[in-house]
Chains A and B, each alone.
Chain A
Amino acid sequence: MTQVHVTTTVNGDEVEFLADPRETLLDCLRDKVGMTGAKEGCGTGDCGACSVTLDGRLVCSCLVLGVEAEGKDIGTIEGMADGDDLHPLQAKFIEYAALQCGICTPGILVATEALLKKSPDPSEEEVRYWLAGNLCRCTGYDKIIRAVLDTARDLREGV
């Protein structure tokens, strides 16, 4: 099929690629842009491992076509840290051992960053429902939820 030229912004940088109209944004990010931080766990919108933001909105990049990224602003896990300075969520996940295998971690971090922007003081229940679309098979979620709640507290208190 004829490839489509796509111009988009990823983590603030302009990026161009050629996409088959059937290719997902996830495939394009990974195979064309060379950003493999977003993972494919299911390809059907059920696991959240491919979470990115599209013009600030949290999406499953496996459910977005690459060609839909034209002119959009995409945020991925690769853009979460500020240079060597980890985002507080990233630091807290390491400190709390909120990852075991780590395959779900990029998606969960992108999703929780979006949550905290929208809701700086979430309840445990709110975090659990927000993350209900991000599967983690290793941790039982306990340490993830604690890391999110305590990061939110630190950010509110300006720690």
Chain B
Amino acid sequence: MALDSKTEFKYIGTRPDRPDGMDKVTGKARYGADAYAPGMLHGAVVRSPHAHAKIVKIDASKALAMKGVKAVVTRADFATDLEGEDWDLLENTIAGEKTLYDGHAVAAVAATSALIAKDAAKLVEVEYEILPCVTDVDAAMADGAPVIRDGAADHSVPEGLHPNVVRYTEFGRGDVEAGFAAADLVVERDFKTEAVHQGYIEPHACLANLGADGKGELWCCTQGHWFVRRMCTALLGLETTQLRVTASEIGGGFGGKTTVFIDPIALALSRAAGKPVKLVMSRSEVLKASGPTSSASMNVKMGMTKDGKLTAATAVFRMQGGAFPGAPMDMTTMLAFSCYDLDNVHHEGFDVMTNRPKQAAYRAPGAPMGAFAVESVMDELCQGLGLDPIDARLTNAVKEGTKSSFGPRYKAVGLIETLEAAKAHPHYSAPLAENTGRGIASGYWMNWGGETSTSLAIGEDGTVQVGVGTPDIGGSRASMALMAAETLGIPYENVRVDVVDTASLGVNEPSHGSRATYASGLAVIESAREAITKLSKRAADKWGIDAEAVEWRDGAAHPSGPNAGDFTPLSIADIAGEMGSTGGPITGHHDASPTGFGGSFGTHIVDVHVDPDTGKSTVVRYTVVQDAGKAIHPSYVEGQFQGGAAQGIGWALNEEYIYDDDGRLQNDVFLDYRIPVASDLPMIDTVIVEVPNPGHPYGVRGVGETGITPPLPAVACAISHAIGHRMTRLPISPPRVLRAIQGKGIS
């Protein structure tokens, strides 16, 4: 693929109104729960009140006898021949022999109204035999801990570890002992982070219609409807393409809507009842039984010389991912030291099962925990050696050609540029008020390409429709339209972008991995280029010249020079108006799994005020500096930076899953699981750094995920400086701060 890059832009880098703006400010946009179908039933799920229990018996006779109840499904209504990840997915969707966490689905009911379905769900009698449970990662690895599932460990786990340790990784290079011996200061600390939820405001919702003939339709809020199609058809024993999935508008995902929870259940209910079934999660169900992130117990040790050079680094990450394998220890280990040029480095990772819901991706999955530990130690080294934290980072920063801590050499990356921009920002040199500390931290996400298929078609009037398969979570229709307009040389307003259903394109991975603007954007550009080739050919045919003698610019075909002939340029509208008689419809299409994605580094500065009497921490100033490669629509790039920072602040200061000894979630409503609200935050300043990604025609890097990585350590370091105690455990809640101030420890 020729990736001739472009640096001068007409539309890219401008801030037009998003194409879906009108629908979204008027309440017309249709999200997951906004769909209705004739004859529709409503579903409700029966969930386990126990964290770990054997299912002895399920008796649905009373529920089925209730007026208006049309179907009840249990595990028996799903595929029976699954293994590996598909089996895990089914087991998480609906329990088999055991329930594995508080809120685990056991059965489901479809009825003529939501109220009847809820009442009927209460009448499904489930007999349980309660088993001992464990929810803490360290406790789950300890001798004598209840075993979640024997035989779940893979070959990577060394002998002698608890059966709850299901995967293990270990890698590094150099001689870390020699490295530590060469250091002037070595700091080693233990850290702990709690599980948090993505906290999307829209609960999972779907409308399913599946016939006895194995053909179906599903409407749902998802980051990736082809993933939903594959998962649902596997769990229901259907042929993949017989299910058409349409992605609704999506009310936030952050990684949590890249898998399925209720969609297969709604399809099973629909198949059993012979009618469409709508199923919507309550907030409590979302918190208990969707996919929060992993919690982590960590140890990091780093050595530094007095002039700021890192000599060695080691890290151990123990991460629980709920009652299934899959905690993101791979990403945590890979990315922990991704900012630094290290000769001696070693990583160890443990994937540990507990009686909690199966973790799902959450914005830069696995990276924020590692960054919290590593950047906190980095900060303590700088403090101990009297070094400026940005200068010390610049001394060790990776750049193009540096061998990363996880192996490959970096292509062009922008860490140094973000550090220099942070240093030059007035925030960095602003004076600090009393009881206020400043934290600095950097972070990285490597981004992703993934399977991508897009199409573009020219309308009879020369306007353009684009179909993509990556749901628009934060303005990506605008980015796609800008890239199409730029490539074709036509006004932004002349491009319509739709997120189309699974029957309309080849397989598309979800909008995840910070890939949508990169990969779908690249495919839109290539689709437009294909259309330009066809448009140019029509002009060449009309003029009776070679297609090579036609040049496309400013939305029109021109003869490429005096030798090509003297013809009046033909605009896209001129050519489109005649296309029916000159060869038929003109389209462009592109399918690829692009690999030229470029990672994004960021550096954050935060000032936190701590009230010494109450222990309450308040973020008073925040600045995000991040490399976007090329910002297609800068407002939405800034939005990603700001949103990532806000989520990271929540993770650092007050969000956490709280389980009691019985393994029951104690804070399953927004009042108790408190995400940052408007009055908790200051304005969040942003600086967009642009170090173009050579793997994208216009230089785009994904920007969605990096922003949640630096806030955890940045906020923790700011508080540590404000109170004079190193905070190594999240969330840094007021009681924890008070205990630290009073010298009573922090746990």
**Which residues of A does B touch, CB under 8 Å?**
1, 20, 22-23, 27, 30-31, 35-44, 46-47, 49, 76-78, 80-81, 86, 90-91, 93-97, 99-106, 109, 125, 127-129, 131-146
Contact = CB atoms under 8 A, between A and B. Distances in A.
Contact of B22 (A40, A49, A94, A109): A94
13 contacts: A27-B114, A41-B203, A42-B670, A86-B22, A94-B22, A95-B17, A97-B18, A97-B475, A101-B250, A102-B24, A102-B251, A137-B646, A140-B676
B609 to A, nearest CB: 15
B473 interface: yes
Contacts of B603: none
Q: Which size bracket describes the interface of B in this complex?
A: 35 or more
A90 B679 contact: no
List the 6 shortest-distance A-B pairs measured between CB atoms, nearest first: A37-B27, A103-B251, A140-B646, A97-B635, A140-B642, A100-B474
- Greatest chain B CB density within 10 A among A76, A128, A142 is at A142
B616 interface: no
B683 A101 contact: no
Contact of A42 (B113, B638, B646, B669): B669
Contact of B679 (A40, A42, A129): A129
Q: Is the interface of B mostly helix, strand, loop or mixed?
A: loop
A101 B643 CA distance: 11
Given A41-B203, A138-B639, A140-B646, A101 B473 contact: yes
Interface in B305-359: none
A101 B27 contact: no
Given A77-B26, A81-B26, A128-B679, A135 B670 contact: yes
B669 A40 contact: no
Contact of A137 (B34, B675, B679): B675
Given A41-B203, A100-B473, A80 B252 contact: no
Contact of A101 (B25, B202, B680): B202
A37 to B, nearest CB: 2
Given A40-B280, A106-B25, A137-B643, 12 more contacts: A36-B30, A39-B31, A41-B670, A44-B671, A93-B21, A93-B25, A106-B27, A109-B25, A135-B677, A137-B252, A140-B646, A143-B638
A104 B25 CA distance: 10
Contacts of B681: 128, 140-142
A105 B283 contact: no
Contacts of B676: 140
Interface string B682-721: 0110000000000000000000000000000000000000
Contact of B475 (A77, A100, A133): A100
B201 interface: yes
A151 B25 CA distance: 15
Contacts of A142: 642, 681, 683-684
Interface string B195-227: 000111111000000000000000000000000
Contact of B678 (A23, A46, A145): A145
Given A39-B202, A133-B677, A44 B670 contact: yes
Contact of B252 (A27, A35, A81, A138): A138
A132 B27 contact: no
Contacts of A100: 252, 473-475, 636, 639, 643
Interface of B: 15, 17-18, 20-22, 24-31, 33-34, 36, 113-115, 198-203, 249-254, 280, 282-283, 473-475, 633, 635-636, 638-639, 642-643, 645-647, 669-671, 675-681, 683-684
B643 A139 contact: yes
Given A44-B283, A136-B201, A145-B678, A77 B27 contact: yes
Q: Is the interface of A mostly helix, strand, loop or mixed?
A: loop
Contact of A143 (B26, B199, B635): B635
Contacts of A136: 201, 678
A148 to B, nearest CB: 10
A94 B26 CA distance: 11
Contacts of B638: 97, 143
B624 to A, nearest CB: 9
- Greatest chain B CB density within 10 A among A1, A76, A94, A127 is at A94
A1 B253 CA distance: 37
A94 B16 CA distance: 9
A31 to B, nearest CB: 8
Nearest to A109: B25
B639 A42 contact: no
Contacts of B18: 94, 97
Given A101-B202, A103-B31, A80 B677 contact: no
B639 A132 contact: no
A41 B283 contact: yes
A109 B25 CA distance: 8
A42 B283 contact: yes
B506 to A, nearest CB: 26
B745 to A, nearest CB: 32
